[in-house]
Structure 1
Amino acid sequence: MTTSGPAATDRPPLPPGVREGTVVLDRIQLHYLETGPEDGDPVVLVHGNLSTSRFWEHLMPALAERHRVIAPDMRGFGDSQAVPLDATGGLRDWAEDIRTVLEWLDVTRPPHLVGWSTGGAAIAHYAMAHPVASLAFVDPVSPYGYGGTHPDGRPCFDDFAGSGGGGINPAVVEAIEAGDTSADNPFAPRSMFRTFYVAPSYTERPEREDLLVAEILKTSTGPDNYPGDSAASPNWPGFAPGERGILNALSPKYCNWTGILDLDPKPPVLWTHGAADLVIADGSPLEAGVLGAAGQIPGWPGAAVYPQQPMVSQIREVLGRYRAAGGSVRSEMFPESGHAPFLDAADKWLEVYQDFLSRS
């Protein structure tokens, strides 16, 4: 059964000039935010896992001075419908959601795409299927997916054991389903936001943090959405990815965006990364290889069989190949930022992105 946590009824209003709408089709309903002139070059902001379009809203008015800015809620998140996600296509369902919103809004120009975390793989999949003006990756999932790979992207096991929906702590799902807004439960959205989304030094306005926590609580849970289903495995740590839901879509069994290397023409790329990121890192504490090496998952077969996934190094290597193949790549590291530099270093991130847009 798919469930969704409660949404706040007294949430702060949208920023001035930002409006919301919903795509209503027989197959899906997708909520989105929009601002800026209809004839402006489109900029699409794609959120990550356990988040929504409202994570971007503080940036939208400034970007709208010259662009038509659109931020959709992906299926199963925010105020969009909890339509099942086919993990076997990787993030192609999310890419299709982006396309659906743009067609609904009669956007015909190639968009500038921004993808945060999971959204990074989604915009890459979009670019592999449709023309784009530029790609901006914000702490994206590795080009080889999340968990269970050697540095060169080879899977640790043929069944991609250790990745996918079976890797989530059930307490995280329970907290979402219970609508837990506390700061005491380490598995509740507020604690996860403070620990994994932003740098420890970052202090958000209380009402803004309340809003973002309420948005996380809108996540649709279950085998079709978050976290997805799983399969038993004879390999360590005993589970392999299933075929449904977002965490399986992020498994290296299905998620691979190295196809951007074959794009012709190659759109300009911006990669921004928070150096204090604990989610996307060379040694993320959320990844099975790290947990095994630390003794938190018994039976780890050792680094030769199941190393820690060097996610940032994998991103850097693939984007280096993109540059060597003729693409333009700009990299910007944010030394004090966590997983979301557009939140904990918003002014600096906006400055970097607007400069990139002006040159794209």
Structure 2
Amino acid sequence: MTVSGIRTRRVRTERLGVQISDVRDAGEPVVFVHGNVSSSVFWHSTLPLLPERFRPVAPDLRGFGGSDPLAVDATRGLRDHADDLAGLLDALGIGQAHLVGWSMGGGVVMQYLCDRPGAVRSVTLVNPVSPYGYGGTRGVEGTLNSPDGAGSGGGTANPAFVEALAKGDRGEETAVSPRTVLVNCYGKAPWRPDEEDAYVESMLTTRTGADHYPGDSTASGSWPGVAPGTRGVLNSMSPLYLRLDALPLVEPKPPVLWIRGEDDVIVSDGSLFDLAHLGAVGAVPGWDGTPAQPMVAQTRAVLARYAAGGGSVREVAVAEAGHAVHLERPEEFLAALLEVLSA
């Protein structure tokens, strides 16, 4: 199927059936990995912008878009997704690739780099999840707030948002509808992209449940009373299971571009999705003083160690942009991307 120059097709790998979007069969492979509650559709406007010497490919991760909805084993962190990506590249005959990861996809790309550094030509992180996961940590070293990972995982999702995804809510009547979240959180609010309806449909492809989004959870004696389970998407980003301390140690070290919107409210040092920050501002009751996760500072610290070990790292902070900086400021994003692809 071709939509606006984008080809969408399924590829059978040794692990699962993967739906991909691409534009051509030749050139240096550049693989774009989407984030949570989205799909490769969020890369559709980016893929045709790459010069013809590149071969852009954007897969749907398991449980999103048109790929098979295999269960996520959260105890492996993001390795299910990273291993799926490796299987896809094998099936496509791609030995080395430039990797671009947005949000959760940034974590997938970092995990892939840790496991297969020789297969990576460059890494571009777009508003990535912290190397110490999402929620439940303090300080730039990612120290757990509680041994059980309280404050992270499947129990931190808003149940009404999960229900809206499951019901296919396309409206804008509530604060937790996918469209409302897109407009107010994915970009700098209010973000009304031309492709808004397509992005909402992409969000609605998210498979929900204990094995998918958000995952299961357990009760905790530590604030806020919930800790990660072992299944599903949000648990796979719990700091109990996602800790990328090995990133600065990889050899060889491909060049890294970190590009982010300065007004991101999803991945920030005061995220509106971090229960500790919400507790501090009075939005979650019973806050016990647990500090917000310094997500940006944690990423900067890990990448600084990567650079100290001989790697090339460039940070680009884009003013007046939010979580989807590649869509909000495509010209600035493309210029920075092409620089690292040509390094």
With the length of structure 1 as denominator, give the TM-score of the two structures: 0.92
- Give, in whole Å, the separation in 2 of the partners of 1:202 and 1:301: 34
Aligned partner of residue 258 in structure 1, secondary structure: coil
Which one of the candidate residues 295, 304, 307 is aligned to 1:320?
304
- Give, in whole Å, the separation in 1 of the partners of 2:112 and 2:54: 20
- Give, in whole Å, the separation in 2 of the partners of 1:317 and 1:70: 30
- Give, in whole Å, the separation in 1 of the partners of 2:70 and 2:86: 16
Matched residue, 1:257? 244
Closer, same or farther: CA 60–43 of 1 in aligned 2, 3 Å: same
- Give, in whole Å, the separation in 1 of the partners of 2:302 and 2:114: 15
Instruction: Give how far 1:64 is off.
Output: 4.8
Bigger mean CA offset, 216-225 vs 58-67: 58-67
2:30 is aligned with 1:30: no
Residues 14 and 87, structure 2, Cα contact 8 Å, conserved in 1 = no
| Structure 1: gaps of 5 or more residues | 1-11
**Which residue identity does 1:128 align to in structure 2?**
C
2:89 is aligned with 1:102: yes
Which one of the candidate residues 187, 199, 203 is aligned to 2:188?
199
Matched residue, 1:309? 293
Bigger mean CA offset, 72-81 vs 18-27: 18-27
Closer, same or farther: CA 298–192 of 1 in aligned 2, 3 Å: same
- Equivalent positions of 1:70-85 (< 5 A) are 70-85=57-72
| Structure 2: gaps of 5 or more residues | none
2:19 is aligned with 1:21: no
Between Structure 1 and Structure 2, how many residues are aligned? 340
Bigger mean CA offset, 193-202 vs 214-223: 193-202
- Give, in whole Å, the separation in 1 of the partners of 2:13 and 2:42: 25
- Give, in whole Å, the separation in 2 of the partners of 1:358 and 1:137: 16
Aligned partner of residue 133 in structure 1, secondary structure: strand
Matched residue, 2:132? 144
Matched residue, 1:352? 336
- Give, in whole Å, the separation in 2 of the partners of 1:19 and 1:155: 43
Instruction: Give how far 1:128 is off.
Output: 1.4
**Which residue identity does 1:239 align to in structure 2?**
V
Matched residue, 1:9? none
- Give, in whole Å, the separation in 2 of the partners of 1:27 and 1:97: 6
- Give, in whole Å, the separation in 2 of the partners of 1:25 and 1:271: 30
- Give, in whole Å, the separation in 2 of the partners of 1:265 and 1:82: 33
- Give, in whole Å, the separation in 2 of the partners of 1:50 and 1:257: 22
- Equivalent positions of 1:2-21 (< 5 A) are 14-16=3-5, 18-21=6-9
Residues 268 and 327, structure 1, Cα contact 8 Å, conserved in 2 = yes
Which one of the candidate residues 261, 265, 276 is aligned to 1:278?
265
Deviation per CA, 1:287-319: give whole Å up to 9, x if none.
0111121222222221xxx21111111111111
- Give, in whole Å, the separation in 2 of the partners of 1:147 and 1:71: 27
**Which residue identity does 1:219 align to in structure 2?**
T
Q: What stretches of structure 1 move > 4 A for 4+ residues in a row?
A: none
